[in-house]
Amino acid sequence: MVTGGFGSYLIALDEKTYKLIGTDYPGNRAEDVKNPGLGWMIGFLFVVSFLGLFSLAPLRKVMVMDYKLTYPSGTATAMLINSFHTNTGAELAGKQVSCLGKYLSISLVWSCFKWFFSGIGDSCGFDNFPSLGLTLFKNTFFFDFSPTYVGCGLICPHIVNCSVLLGAIISWGFLWPFISQHAGVWYPADLSSNDFKGLYGYKVFIAIALILGDGLYNLIKIIIITIKEMCNKRTMQNLPIVSEVQVIPVIFPPMKWYLVLCSYIIAPALAFCNSYGTGLTDWNLTSTYGKIGLFIIASLVGSDGGVVAGLAASGVMMSIVSTAADLMQDFKTGYLTLSSAKSMFVSQLVGTAMGCVIAPLTFWLFWSAFDIGDPDGPYKAPYAVIFREMAILGIEGFSELPEHCLALCCGFFVAALVINLLRDVTPKKISQFIPIPMAMAVPFYIGAYFAIDMFVGTVILFVWERINRKDAEDYSGAVASGLICGDGIWTIPSAILAIFRINPPICMYFGPSLSG
């Protein structure tokens, strides 16, 4: 397991990567990042992925036993494992595995079938099926028959799926068409589709505003709770700090050693806050803590390498903070299953070391086979683009944004704060119907199609629960996992086919009928 995957976007492999990380931005040069390929990527992950594990390991008893934090995901995993030790549990587990295998096979076969019709072209295949009509298709409202997103809809709570759909309706149904009508007035009309001085800038920065508003609210909330608990419980131990900081400046020269040292000093404290919040709510705010490092370091370095330095700092911070929370989840599972804490920790170390090698190799496979970062392609790498633009924003301010973009960003930022506040102060019978700003923000940039898929998944689950709630509770996770895994497995042979330049034989295209 490795959560330093974001760092993979920071390793310059060729000219395409330079654009992705920001070396096309003035003051950020290709020489700001070393370019030997996989070796540096693996080295970067080994450097940043282990501090999070060691920083909170001494606090295991405090977090799990003294504070008695729930860690919902870890608790659920433990309950599933414990159920295997009963006849009833073993029987159910066997049926769940059979169900997972069945839907994994269906998803794999369907993904293979879709590939044959997705020939060379921008609008080929079932992924571009105008199921809701050509007018809505132009605004990305269509069902693209994706097993992965339907599976996500089965797993995610109904409020998450509905929030994603609501965000898609607000952005692609109303906001972007409205802004497009002002092309030539609010922004130049002849800009490319991925120019941040045009409509693309509205899409990215308004999404960032929603994400920051939601993240900042939850961050402050968790810090307040953490400080309160720390004042009540005086059993805290010192957090160890790793001071070997000379490797990252070799990979990213703008990221000076003292900036890395500051990140390493701050990160363990933030890792505790994140782990504590995850234990309370199961909400991992890794990306929020990464944004803190990104903005601070980018602004300190300035225009001469600030984008690369900010992204590198964000990768360091996110890796440390996320691995610490994941480790504590596993400690909770081990505690409830009476497993050895030392065995859990060693297993985590081994898994992290394996991930430091496997993750770059997997990334390299995708990088070689697909156009990663293409805004019109299947692998948009949206967070790479969003984080890069946030780094640029930290350097040069808001002067380059299109007209009214800053005002809209401020409005959505405040709206995210207000919505979160309402979710906390209203009774549960009301708050359960209030949307989640973080979920609403995702389709603002990516599009509405995956929101349709996820909503189909949540409708299936809703109907299933009404027909047979027990079966839905027992098997929905297995069905969803099978759909997601089958679709994911197909990416491996499809990537291999792409590497060998074997293209789908058919392009199935849908367009308006010819008149007269």
> Is residue 316, in this structure, part of any structural domain at all?
yes
Contact between 486 and 105 (Cβ < 8 Å):
yes
Give the model's pLDDT for residue 175: 93
- The dihedral through the CA atoms of 352, 319, 275, 439 has a sign that is negative
Residue span of the structural domain in which 54 resides:
4-499
State mean pLDDT over 119-128: 77
> Is residue 184, in this structure, part of any structural domain at all?
yes
185: buried, middle or exposed (CB in 10 Å: 19+, 13-18, 0-12)?
exposed
Torsion of CA 297, 298, 303, 308, to 10 degrees: 100
- The dihedral through the CA atoms of 361, 113, 464, 164 has a sign that is positive
Tell me the pLDDT tens digit for each residue of 77-111.
666 566 556 565 667 777 877 888 888 899 999 99
> Is residue 505, in this structure, part of any structural domain at all?
no
Contact between 347 and 341 (Cβ < 8 Å):
no
Asked whether residue 8 carries a pLDDT value surpassing 50, the answer given is no
Distance CA(246)–CA(261), nearest Å, equals 9
> Is residue 516, in this structure, part of any structural domain at all?
no
Mean pLDDT for the chain? 77
In our burial notation (b when 16+ CB lie closer than 10 A, e otherwise), range 221-259 reads bbeeebeeeeeeeeeeeebeebeebebbbebbbbbbeeb
Contacts of 106 (CB under 8 A, 6+ apart): 147, 482, 483, 486
* Residue matched to tokens 């633009």: 389
State mean pLDDT over 66-81: 66
Q: Which residue has the higher pLDDT, 66 or 296?
A: 296
Asked whether residue 420 carries a pLDDT value surpassing 70, the answer given is yes
Asked whether residue 516 carries a pLDDT value surpassing 60, the answer given is no
Contact between 45 and 356 (Cβ < 8 Å):
yes
Distance CA(373)–CA(368), nearest Å, equals 12
**DSSP string computed for 301-323:** HTTTTHHHHHHHHHHHHHHHHHH
The tally of domains found in the chain comes to 1
Asked whether residue 37 carries a pLDDT value surpassing 80, the answer given is no
> Is residue 367, in this structure, part of any structural domain at all?
yes
Name residue 44's amino acid. F
> Is residue 515, in this structure, part of any structural domain at all?
no
Residue 242: left (phi > 0), alpha (psi -120 to 50), or beta?
beta
pLDDT band at 3 (very low <50, low <70, confident <90, very high): very low
Tell me the pLDDT tens digit for each residue of 466-483.
999 988 888 887 888 788
DSSP H or E run through 469: helix 469-499
Range picked from 16-25, 271-280, 435-444 for highest mean pLDDT: 435-444
Reference 147, options 100, 103, 98; nearest CA is 103
> Is residue 145, in this structure, part of any structural domain at all?
yes
Give the model's pLDDT for residue 364: 79
Q: CA gyration radius for the chain?
A: 23
Distance CA(298)–CA(304), nearest Å, equals 10
Q: Degrees (nearest 5) of the Cα angle 428, 434, 436? A: 115
> Is residue 504, in this structure, part of any structural domain at all?
no
Record the tokens describing residue 458, joined without a space. 């949540």
- Residue 141, number of CB atoms within 10 A of its CB: 21
Tell me the pLDDT tens digit for each residue of 180-223.
998 888 888 887 776 777 888 888 888 878 877 877 787 677 67
